[in-house]
Chain A
Amino acid sequence: MQDLSSYPLELTGPDVPMVRFMNVRKTYGDFVVLDDLNLDVAAGEMVTVIGPSGSGKTTVLRMLMTLETINGGVIYVDGKPLTHMPKNGVLVPADAKYLRKARSSIGMCFQHFNLFPHMTALENCMEGPVQVLGLSKKEARERAEELLSMVGMIEKKDQHPARLSGGQQQRVAIARALAMRPKVMLFDEVTSALDPEVIGEVTNVIKDLVTKHNLTMLMVTHQMGFARDISDRICFFFGGKIEEQNTPEELFTNPQKERTQQFLSAVKAAD
């Protein structure tokens, strides 16, 4: 049992980050995936995580979505603990009820979309707002239609996922996540399962989000050009640690660490 007394019950002060990983540790049995991770993401910031396969990028996002439990440290979202809850003046591991409330400010898009196959595009986007947020069908429909228009999928709103291309499915998945009005959006390799010619339609939607909306975003991608275009900051992960982080310009043109240089030149060679 770790000592949690040194962790604040709530983050206060002038620049509370939207997301804070504080000494976070994640293991599978004896295998340490992430060791002592510290990472802040400011409100409205777009942070991209890059790194070799198996370095723990997906794990970072999944922990934040509460799809994985953590074995040490605390994650805060919007100043409040996510993985833990205050009880009698100290933090204790969060129970299911607390987790459910805490994660409502987070949305996620997956590599394989995970749309609900038995629902149309519109129904996919209405499901959360109606069932979870308690919106009326009418309100939820309006919200869903607005978002489907934004991602360019309004014409296909009555199609089931099986009738949509990968790029179209991913755009619906983005609309579905946004319909929950999250403060933080997570994108895990959302273009990796797509044919090259449709990648652009998804990256354009994300670019739009960055320029027009004040969302906090955490993204994992293997597309360096895209990451460079839209990110405020790039984190290079290696072996479960942040090896180096910087603005895109600095990191791509002037990487400090040898491992970063190796990774970037390997990626460039592959392109």
Chain B
Amino acid sequence: MQWDWQFTVEILPRMLWATVNTLMAAGIGYAIAAVLGLIFAMAQRTRFRSLTVTVREVVEFLRSTPLVLQIFFVYYVGPEYGVSLSPWVAGMIAIGLHYAAYLSEVYRGGIESVSKGQWEACTAINLSPAQAYRRIILPQALPPSVAGMGNYLISIFKDTPMLSVIGVAELMQAANAIGGQNYRYLEPYTIVGLVFLIISLFSAALIRSFENWIRRKLGMY
């Protein structure tokens, strides 16, 4: 088996376009997870015990079952109840939920790392709980969470190939299709691997410098 450069050049545009889709899927999935994760985290900090326990269990469930199965579940279960989701929508919901569970743990860790004294100072200047979260606690919970948040961004990115199982046109799906049409798998799969390798190494470095930047920015050295 020989590497075919001409074939590589031929399929490159299609692979690049699929890369854009992959990045988009990761971005949208992450945005959903980031917001939903905050809701999961805050729901576990309310006074209502039953809410805390329920959300805790949901988070555990989402974290300990396979994402690929969750993707199938969301995609196929909808029609049984009269809602057909497109592959993109189903995929984004599944990835968003799955990683919301992880991110909620990151947020919780960050929030808990803020000292009790900060809460007391908020009371002493009479901030409302909502103000205390928004102005004092969450900004301080951010820097210790950035590393974890960044790692899960990369994880989401690396999990996007699973979306190919329901036909989302991302990199893996493109490679499968190209491979099937031309009976050549070496080039497409290798390109996919390289794209992932390059982007993850690059973004890992980016996240590290972002973490340092945000600490400086907030004046917490």
Contact = CB atoms under 8 A, between A and B. Distances in A.
Nearest to B124: A108
Of the listed residues B118, B124, B219, B220, the one surrounded by the most CB atoms of chain A closer than 10 A to its CB is B124
B218 interface: yes
B121 interface: yes
B220 A107 contact: no
Chain B interface, DSSP helix/strand/loop, else mixed: helix
A162 interface: yes
B124 A116 contact: no
Contacts of B121: 110, 114-116
Interface string A109-142: 0101011111110000001100110000000000
B120 A180 contact: no
A160 interface: yes
Interface in B107-135: 115, 117-118, 120-121, 123-128, 131, 135
Contact of B125 (A66, A162, A176): A176
A246 interface: no
B136 interface: yes
A132 B120 contact: no
Chain B, interface residues (CB within 8 Å), range: 20 to 34
Nearest to B128: A100
Contacts of B120: 65, 67, 108, 110, 114
Interface string A198-232: 00000000000000000000000000000000000
Interface residues of A, number: 29
A128 B123 CA distance: 10
Nearest to B120: A67
A19 to B, nearest CB: 16
A197 B114 CA distance: 30
Contact of A118 (B115, B124, B140): B140
A180 B124 CA distance: 9
B167 interface: no
A114 B118 contact: yes
Interface string A80-104: 0000000000000000000010011
Interface in B75-115: 115
B221 to A, nearest CB: 5
A177 B125 contact: yes
A116 B220 contact: no
Given A131-B135, A162-B219, A117 B123 contact: no
B124 A65 contact: yes
Given A128-B125, A128-B127, A162-B220, A116 B118 contact: yes
Contacts of A67: 120, 123-124
Nearest to A176: B125
Nearest to A66: B123
A100 B126 contact: yes
A104 B139 contact: no
A120 B124 contact: no
A161 B136 CA distance: 14
Contacts of B140: 116-118
Closest 5 CB pairs of A and B: A160-B219, A128-B125, A114-B117, A114-B121, A118-B218
Interface of A: 65-67, 100, 103-104, 106-108, 110, 112, 114-120, 127-128, 131-132, 160-163, 176-177, 180
18 contacts: A65-B123, A65-B124, A66-B123, A103-B126, A104-B126, A110-B120, A114-B118, A114-B121, A116-B136, A117-B219, A117-B220, A118-B139, A118-B140, A118-B219, A118-B220, A132-B125, A132-B128, A163-B219
